[in-house]
Each structure stands twice: as C-alpha cells, then as structure tokens.
Amino acid sequence: MTKPKRVTLFIQCIVDSCFPEVGEAMVKVLERQGLILDYPPDQTCCGQPAFNAGYRDEAARLALHYLDGFEHAEVIVCPSGSCVNMVRHHYMELFAKDPRRLERAKRVAAKTFEFTEFLVDALGVTDVGATWNGEVTYHDSCHLLRGLGVKDQPRALLSEVRGLTLVEMTRSDECCGFGGTFSAKYPEISEALLETKLANIQAAGTGAVVGCDMGCLLHMQGMIRRRELPISVHHIAEILAGED
C-alpha cells in the first residue's frame, strides 16, 4: 500500500475510557511515521460485547454507527484485534440479509486494520525507532491470532525495538480466559484459564508481558494486582512508543 494521506483512528471503548495512554502511544508511533491522523469524535463502540452475548440486533445498531462514522475514511487503524475481528468478520454476519448494508460493511472492513498489521503489512515498516530496555514475553490474543491471522507482525516489530529481548512463553496462543461477559458469568473457569496463563508468563522469567488487546491485558492485570504478582503488563503501542 502506498502511504495513506490520512489515517483515521478507531479507539476501542476500553482504551478510550480506561487506558487512554494506550491510544496516545499509538498516536505517537503513527505520527513518527509521518502520518496525518483523524479522530471522528462521535465514535463509541464496535458492538462486540452485545454480539458475543447473543444480542445481534443490538450489536447491529452499533455496527451501523461504525459504518456511518468510518466509511468515508481512507484507512482505519485500531489498537485492538478483537474489535477489528468484529468489523472484518462479524459485521458480515450481522448484515447478511441486507445487501446494501452488507456492501457498506464489506467496503469498510477492507480498510480497517489492527495496529501492528497496519504497520507491518500496510506500511511495510518493522523498525519504528523504538527503545525499550528489558525482557518481555508476548501473548497471542485469540481474535488477533485466529480471527485475523496476525502472529508474526507483533513479533517482527518487537524484534526491532532497541534494548528489548523477546522470550516466548509456553503456549502463548492459549486463551487467557477473558471471553467478554464470560469472565463475569463463569468466574471460576475464567480464573482457571487466567491462572494457567499467568503461570506460563512467570515461567518465561521476563517479569513483563506484552499484548495487542486491552481486553486480555486488563484481564491479566486484574489478577496480577489482586495477587500482587511481580509481572508488568504492556500494550504493544506503549513499547513501540518508547524512546531513549
């Protein structure tokens, strides 16, 4: 892809309301690439929480809101694999019976990217000029990995960060147990999966974990804080925005 004139930001609701610094880090990285950014202020949510719980008509209202807000963008970048997965795959399911909206959804899906896949696949960039001293391990979020097929891109970006050593954990691709409302409705199971994930992170011996999805990361951080575990949690945007 040739460098786009303008990049439109889609900021996941979790990032917007709880972790705005992740959005800011992504902005910093993108601007360092010389990109001009837009942020449609009316954006809210992709509708995923409703969709996962089975409330598709309700999710469709928000999907429509996304179409209205973003379909005229040149390219859309989002710091969350699960939201992009929602747009690229589930919007088609929501509008399967409405040809006009389906067409709009397809067009907007084709230009919606997750942050790391945008940098590596669309811009062809792996060295974003970042520095971050330390060892980290990387968690493959389910929707990002299996929904979007994004596996190598984050690793390629991390490998170019000066001072950073990436140590792979056992079964990095195993679900952390978040799963949306599942985490509150089936807490025992959710926690069991999370415990396994945190044990694998600790076994990697890095003291720090990186991921691309705040859903997973806040889930991990939730138990890390409760149990006061010595693991720091980072969204990849923060690592890539790191400077000397």
Partner 1 sequence: MLNQSPLKYRELAAKAVQDKQLHRALAMMRDKIGRKAVNLYNQLPTGEGSRQAAKAVRRKVVDNLDVVLETLATNIRARGGHVHLAESGADAVEYCLGVAKRFQVRRVVKGKSMLSEEIHLNDALEAAGIETVETDLGEYIVQLKGEAPSHIIAPAIHYTREQVGELFAEKLGEPYTDDPPTLTAMARKTLREKMLGADMGISGGNTACAETGHVTIVSNEGNIRMATTMPRVHVVLLGIEKIAATLEDHDILLRMLTRAAAGQKISTYVSYVGGPRLDEEPDGPEEFHLVLVDNGRSRILADPDFREVLHCVRCGGCLNVCPVYMAIGGHSYGSPYCGPIGAVFTPLTQGINDCHHLCQGETLCGACKQVCPVDNDLPRMLSLLRYKLANGDARWNVRPQSLSAKLAFGAWSVLMRHRRMYDAMSLVAGFCQKLLPRKNGWISRLPGQLGGWTRGRDFPPLAKKSFARRWARRDTARRDA
Beta partners for residue 209, in sequence order: 137, 233
Which residues does 152 contact at the CB level (< 8 Å), separation at least 6?
120
The interface region with partner 1, picked from 121-129, 157-165, 193-201, 203-211 by CB under 8 A, is 193-201
Q: Give the interface size with partner 1 as a residue count (CB under 8 A).
A: 66
218 lies in the binding site for partner 1 (CB under 8 A): yes
Report, in Å, the least distance between residue 126 CB and partner 1. 26
Report, in Å, the least distance between residue 162 CB and partner 1. 27
Q: Are 132 and 163 in contact (CB under 8 A)?
A: yes
146 lies in the binding site for partner 1 (CB under 8 A): yes
Report, in Å, the least distance between residue 47 CB and partner 1. 7
Footprint on residues 22-41 left by partner 1 (CB under 8 A): 23-24, 27, 39, 41
The interface region with partner 1, picked from 50-58, 70-78, 108-116, 204-212 by CB under 8 A, is 50-58
Q: Are 136 and 205 in contact (CB under 8 A)?
A: no
226 lies in the binding site for partner 1 (CB under 8 A): yes
Pairing outcome for strands 131-138 and 232-235: unpaired
Q: For partner 1, which is the closer residue by CB, 156 or 218?
A: 218
Nearest to 202 by CA among 125, 135, 143: 135
* Token reading at 130: 């970042």
Nearest to 111 by CA among 6, 237, 35: 6
Beta partners for residue 137, in sequence order: 209
The interface region with partner 1, picked from 7-15, 107-115, 152-160, 203-211 by CB under 8 A, is 7-15
16 lies in the binding site for partner 1 (CB under 8 A): yes
115 lies in the binding site for partner 1 (CB under 8 A): no
The 3-class secondary structure across 38-98, one letter per residue, is: ECCCCCCCCCHHHHHCCCHHHHHHHHHHHHHHHCCCCCEEECCHHHHHHHHHHHHHHCCCC
Task: Select from 182, 202, 207, 232 the one that contacts partner 1 (CB under 8 A).
Answer: 182
Cβ neighbourhood burial of 129 (10 Å; 0-12, 13-18, 19+): middle
Kindly list the residues in this chain that would bind partner 1 in the complex (CB under 8 A). 11, 13, 15-21, 23-24, 27, 39, 41-45, 47, 50-59, 61-62, 64-65, 142-143, 146-147, 171, 173-175, 177-180, 182-194, 196, 218-219, 221-223, 225-226
